Structure 1
Amino acid sequence: MSHYQSIDSEVLRTFVAIADEGGFTKAGERVNRTQSAVSMQMKRLEEDVLCRQLFERDGRQVKLTAEGQILLGYARRILKLHSEVFTTLREPHMVGTVRIGTPDDYAMRFLPGILSGFAQAFPLVQVEVHCESSRQLMQRKDLDLTIVTREPGREVGQLLRQERFVWAEAEGFFLHEQTPVPLAMFNTDCFCRIWACNALDAAQKPYRIAYSSPSLAAIMAAVGVGLAVTAQLQSLITPGMRIIGEAEGMPLLPLASIMLLRNPDTRSPMINALAEHIVEGFRL
């Protein structure tokens, strides 16, 4: 039977920090180690443990090799399981309620996997999900965790991911060629709607709000049968729809920063555990 060296979880934590931060110095600050200590850890990992090159160095910037990308996927999974083991065994009877707020579109796209994993780790914790616009959620003080959309440069909280808004319409339809362009959008206080309308105004492209709803499912239903064009995060575009852009005469839309806000007055181990699941879920 072959015997392999084990990889310490702290080494994996440092490796993930380097991948996330893009360099040894910032990663060292994140894991509370000096740059030289981080470099030594990674040298041993590459040369003595795995015998594989994990990094490509370009000045101060560090990129992962193909082997490094493979390890990164395993490292994230190992660290997640490591955290779940300790949290579950140290708090075997963790019970209570966690209140989270999120826009409807993120609830449909990301929450199923997040809540499934959390329920397996903490089956006795009740999760309340409140779906409202980012503007409304930012004003609430009764939520433990809040997921909101912000413009780059105006972020607050912890960055979960950045993604571009895109225009989309049903395959086989050319609604973007109509004047005015019919839109299906969220209600008036949604960042996405504001950014889309501002972009069309700046491009002097006539439009009308043909359908509006607080529900992503309702919006996509109208778009899917060829009644309107919408603007959504690229990851929300479903089969049967096509992304359209500047080549079709539609203006470029901005990047969105998806942020996680934590209520400083309601911190607890179970809230922290759900926050970790949310961070991991938005990476996928």
Structure 2
Amino acid sequence: MARAAVLLLLLASLGVGAPPSAAQDARAAVEAFVARLSDVNVTDLVIVQHLTLYDPGGRHAQSTGTQRVLFKLPRRQRVEQTVEGQREVRLIVGDRVFVRQSAGKVYEAPALPAESDRTRLLVPVRRSAADLLAEWRALGVRDDVSHVVRVRDRPITVIGARPGDRNVPAVWLDAQYGVIRFVTFVPRETLPTGPTTLDLAFSEHRPLPGGFFFPYRQELFVGGKLLMLFTVRSVDVNTNLPDALFDPDALRREP
């Protein structure tokens, strides 16, 4: 009997015994969401938002500022940020990051870890359901485990976690809004405190002219504690942003 119990635990840890319907349910939910976005045509976004940084305990605001975030799809981003009077401009072009400090110095920074990149969760880049699931698997999300919960009286498919699971990589998918929560692990080498969970939560969705919903409230939790809060003031879609705004050489020449 004891050996049978150990075997069951081992099989569970390996994922053996996860019902095939769980994987099918996860894929069906993602396919339905992707299909809804098939007619959405977004080439760029301009977002103006307020940023609040919290103390390590996640209880008190330490710093505040504003951001103007420009996306030019598929893989270009410009963040113009002013926090406590200090202005910084950050360009993300593919996997490369360039930063212009308030004094005017421009340098290339290390690439952002994939688990902290909100771009693909916020912006409706055209991808297949298989591509999305592959991206999530690369971040530790199991697509053979899923269940449905209700959040604010809306049905949500939780991919990667069983009922009652805590602190496991998971995607919370709303059929209309998209990803409303993304939980993953931050590796040991990323933070001095060691590995922990990173939890992105999106809420207060509003419809945009491009035919999709955008979250006007975004929260970043690290190790279960609130680290950043973004409150969106405005979003403009398809404004035909010039390429020069995303050019590292042009960034160096800016006054």
Which structure is higher in helix share?
Answer: 1
Which structure is higher in strand share?
Answer: 2
- TM-score tier by shorter-chain length is under 0.3
Larger Rg: 1
